[in-house]
Amino acid sequence: MAQPPVKAAAYAQTLQLFEAGRGQDDPETRGTGWAAYNAVVEYTDYYQPLGLGLKSLGDGSPAVQGKRLNRAWFGTGAQLKRDAWAKLLASV
């Protein structure tokens, strides 16, 4: 069964961030669990669409940025980052 377009895009973007996101150019970080967690955090904070579909990607308006910040710190983004952190700790 194929993934819905939003989930497929999220997976592809997170994988791209794991390979070439912020901080992934450090040879000691590249390919590690920390790099995977960092990719999840970067995706959640900067790329995860708001609402339905992919419409909010690249929208830098103050309203969208405010919603993105709120979600990243207190909402579903914060929960996603907590879950990723727990998985990282469970793997070591």
| Mean pLDDT to the nearest integer, 2-21 | 86
pTM over 0.75, yes/no: yes
Residue 17: pLDDT band (50, 70, 90) is very high
Q: Where are the domains of the chain?
A: 5-91
Closest-CA residue to 44 (of 79, 20, 90): 79
Distance CA 75, CA 72 (A): 6
Residue 7: pLDDT band (50, 70, 90) is confident
- What are 35-81's pLDDT values in tens digits? 999 999 999 988 887 765 556 666 677 887 888 889 999 998 999 99
Q: What is the DSSP letter of 21?
A: S
More confident call, 60 vs 83: 83
End-to-end CA distance of the chain: 32
CA atoms within a 13 Å half-sphere pointing along the CA-CB vector of 16: 8
